[in-house]
Amino acid sequence: MADPTLKQMRYFEALARYGHFGRAAEASAISQPALSVQIRELENTLGAALFERGARGARLTAFGRQVAERVRAILRAVDELGELGRISQGGFSGSFRLGVIPTVAPYLLPSLVATLSRTHPELDLVMRETITPRLIDGLQDGSLDAALVALPISDPSLTTAELFDEPFLLVRPERDADAPTPAPDALDRMRLLLLEEGHCFRDQALAVCATTATGTRHGLDGSSLSTLVQMVGAGLGITLIPEMAVPVETRSAPVAATRFPDPQPSRRIGLVWRRSSPLAASLEGLAETLRAAAAAGWREAATASRAGNSTER
């Protein structure tokens, strides 16, 4: 019996990830009929169906789920062989795939990219912005080299490097700028606007308020911090945003960004990668670079914003 080929396994992994022949073919840069042929040949080789095919896409069979776990491990090992080759030929260079959560990407990336262009000009930086669970999946299946996320991450297969702590600020309508700042645990009695399900920042905001998504929640959920701030400006409620987002998100809305008294609620941002990655030593060095980028970037912008924005108390 012939063995599965690496090409077939990559096509299989793409179809398992997207659950749709058209999207998997597009991601794999081949035609849909060619992808279908490769999947069928793999099924013939293994002697069992890998997918249930339907009008809305393709779903893994029970056997397919077992195969997917092994295929992803194989592809991850192959990718790590490539990383090992890069290290042996001259260190940290070539394509580097970095994932970033949406509540960090728009605010930290400009200074981060500028810093990496200066300190690691040999890197070809490929960015992916998405929510934490998808970034973790990307790390585990080898499609990402590292990710910027909010800690903690409880996965024994991953290594984390803490980068910085960042306070949360209360954003409320400008007319309330001089009102007393409510205690964090009092926010659950107010109309708190949150990011939609799936964003880690939603869970962090709920933790600050010592509440859950049920109970007194009657606000509206948004898909981005920008949407939440604009909703606050329209008088629909209040929200929390991380400090790095304040200069960008509050400049075009009639809102006031207010600090909580100490101890201020905060989050911790870190760099995460696979323990097995041959790039581990380089990623430790990258963490130091990112700490410097954060210090030179959003902290400086936040200081300038505090100096020039009379609505922040």
Q: Kindly report the number of other CB atoms within 10 A of residue 105's CB atom.
A: 18
Q: Cβ distance 225 to 255 under 8 Å? A: no
Contact 272, 266 (CB under 8 A): no
Whether pLDDT at 264 is above 60: yes
The tally of domains found in the chain comes to 3
Report for 70-74, 200-204, 271-275, 306-310: range of highest mean pLDDT: 271-275
Q: Which stretch of 27-31, 217-221, 282-286 has the lowest confidence by average pLDDT? A: 217-221
Instruction: Give 121's pLDDT tier (boundaries 50, 70, 90).
Output: confident
Is residue 252 domain-shared with residue 171, that is, in the same domain?
yes
Q: Does position 42 have pLDDT exceeding 90, yes or no?
A: yes
Higher pLDDT, residue 262 or 218: 262
Whether residue 17 is found in the same domain as residue 143: no
- 147 within a domain of the structure (yes/no): yes
Query: Which of 21, 24, 11 lies closest to 58 in space, CA to CA?
Result: 21
Q: What is the mean pLDDT of the chain?
A: 84
Same domain assignment for residues 155 and 280: yes
Shared-domain flag, residues 276 and 146: yes
Q: Residue 300: its pLDDT value, please?
A: 57
Is 1 a domain residue?
no
Looking at the fold, whether 211 and 237 belong to one and the same domain comes out as yes
Query: Are 53 and 170 members of one domain?
Result: no
Q: Contact, 71 vs 142, CB < 8 A?
A: no
Describe the chain by its helix, strand, coil percentages, rounded to 5.
50, 20, 30
**Residue 222 domain boundaries:** 165-266
Instruction: Say what the pLDDT of residue 308 is.
Output: 43
Q: Would the pLDDT of 305 be above 70?
A: no
Together in a domain, 187 and 240: yes
Same domain assignment for residues 224 and 171: yes
39 or 280, greater pLDDT: 39
Q: Check whether 297 has a pLDDT greater than 80.
A: no
Flag whether pLDDT at 272 surpasses 50: yes
Residue 215 has a pLDDT of 44
Task: Report whether 136 contacts 158 (CB < 8 A).
Answer: yes
| Segments of 28-129 assigned E as strands | 51-54, 57-60, 94-100, 123-129
Domain end residue (candidates: 16, 51, 83):
83
CB hemisphere CA count around 27 (13 angstroms): 16
Min mean pLDDT across 24-33, 185-194, 226-235 is at: 185-194
Amino acid code (one letter) for 124? D
Predicted local distance difference test score (pLDDT) of residue 61:
95
- Decide if 228 is inside a domain: yes
Is the same domain home to 62 and 207?
Answer: no
Count of other CB atoms within 10 angstroms of residue 144:
23
Token pair 């010592």 in the structure block, residue: 210
Q: What is the CATH number of the domain that holds 106?
A: 3.40.190.10
pLDDT in the model for residue 188:
72
Residue 17 forms part of a structural domain: yes
Say what the pTM is: 0.73
Residue 311 maps to a domain: no
219 or 229: which leads in pLDDT: 229
- Are 174 and 295 found together in one domain? no
Strand partners, 165: 268
Q: Give 151-177 pLDDT, tens digit per residue.
A: 999 889 899 999 999 999 999 999 998
Does residue 313 form part of some domain? no
214 and 175 within one domain = yes
**Is 140 within the bounds of a domain?**
yes
Looking at the structure, do residues 66 and 213 belong to the same domain, yes or no?
A: no
Point out the least confidently predicted range of 55-59, 80-84, 187-191, 208-212. Answer: 208-212
